[in-house]
Structure 1
Amino acid sequence: MVTLGIVDNDPLVAQAIENAFVQRRAPLTVLWAVTGAADAIDLCGRSSCRPDVVLTDLEMPGMDGFALSEALHRRWPNLAVVGMTAFSVDPERLRKADIGLVVHKEMPTEQIVRRIGMVAHDADVMEWIDGGESASNLILTETERQVLTLFLKGRTVMAVARQLHMSEGTVKTHMNSAYKKLGVHNRSQAIGLCAKKGII
């Protein structure tokens, strides 16, 4: 089974990614999920904690994903790195940093897993089909999931409204509907529960 390390400066995002793999029973073993490049380098320095693939956010304060990839490859040339972003990326920067592939944070779990399989050269992971969509995923509407996913990425109500082409009032209506269905009272509780259950 392919082993994985996850790096994202937002602990909620790191946890949500790990939980999505676990909930979907993806053919991956997450060895660790950390919020900084220094922790990732430290863990890779221990042979028992060195994964086959490091999945790293590209936009991080301090050492970003590009610099992390370069640092990892200087010490472990065969370690595969997958970049993760919500933005477009210059292919030349990826090549220079020796980042195998990029996944976008909005991608379905299945696509992310398959790309990890590509850089790990593992046919089973490359061809994995997500059959684990749980009933809890059907509780929320697609729009409610989109709203919560954008909040998970740190967007404001105004930014979510702009991105989804709706009014701020409509965003709040979807939020409140999601809270009611999930049995929570605020945004952080909703995100935490959805991340735990792999809904977003």
Structure 2
Amino acid sequence: MRPIRVLLVDDDPLVRAGLSFMLGGAHDIEIVGEAGDGGEVQALVDSCRPDVVLMDIRMPAVDGLTATEALRARAEAPEVVVLTTFHADEQVVRALRAGAAGFVLKDTPPAEIVAAVRRVAAGDPVLSPTVTRQLIGRVTEPDPGRDRRTRARARLAVLGERELQVAVAVGRGASNADIAAELYLSLATVKAHVSRILARLDLNNRVQIALLTHDAGLLDEDG
């Protein structure tokens, strides 16, 4: 199997050097490029074809949020993991809404950052829906002129009853095994439901399911 191709995006050369050193030591990870600003990302993705982009949030010209939104709008976009110094940050939540697979703190132990890259490359989010729910509970996001709950419920209306039950369970942070036991379904059926939910709602991962069910107010009702 070919190594996981990683693009590093951070305006601090020392941070990039540290990430390159820790990730470069893993036998299954290859650093294919580095950028000091979000404005360089699109061209580097075209030339380097990374599987995962480690993206700093705060950069002087084009920030990581703008770069993430543009990147995830592309066809066959690489996965994005946001780098941040804050546990609860409005920009982190916005990056998750844009399709980032999660975030890691810059002071995260090296082994955990390596593990995060591997998980994302395998198609798994870096943080659980439970952590996402705690995060968005601490961050107030202004949404002027629009009713986020109404719009979220309208999107979820395309789901069948069982799919909606699974979506709410995912939003609570339940694993597939937990959902199978709770709803008396086989594990394979739960996985199929999750795949259909992602496809029907045009979402990237379970974190976005959690965000949508939170926006719809279904987690409050469920709890």
Shared fold by TM > 0.5? Answer: yes
2:22 corresponds to: 20
State the shift of 1:25 in Å: 3.0
Judge conservation of contact 1:86–1:104 (CA < 8 Å) in 2.
yes
1:63 is matched with: 62
Partner of 2:79: 80
AA aligned to 1:92 is V
What secondary structure, in the 3-state scheme, does the structure 2 residue paired with 1:75 have?
A: coil
Partner of 2:42: 41
Normalised TM-score (structure 2)? 0.50
Aligned length: 121
Does 2:112 match 1:111?
yes
SS of 1:45's partner is helix
- TM-score, normalised by the number of residues in structure 1: 0.55
Which residue does 2:8 correspond to in 1?
6
- Aligned residue in 2 for 1:96: 97
Structural RMSD (CA): 2.1
The one-letter code matched in structure 1 to 2:40 is: D
The one of the two structures with greater contact order (alpha-carbon pairs below 8 A, sep at least 6) is 1
**Separation in 1, partners of 2:93, 2:21:** 32
Q: SS at the partner of 1:83? A: strand
Which contiguous aligned blocks of 4+ residues in structure 1 show a shift greater than 3 angstroms? Answer: none
Contact 2:80 2:100 in 1 (8 A): yes
Q: How far, CA to CA, are the matches of 2:123 and 2:109 in structure 1?
A: 19
Quote the sequence identity (%). Answer: 30
Question: Take 1:10 and 1:106, find their aligned partners in 2: how far apart are those partners?
Answer: 14
Aligned partner of 2:33 in structure 1 is 32
Report the alpha carbon displacement of residue 76 of structure 1 after superposing the two structures with TM: 3.5
1:58–1:66 Cα contact (<8 Å) kept:
yes
Partners of 1:78 and 1:14 in 2: how far apart? 22
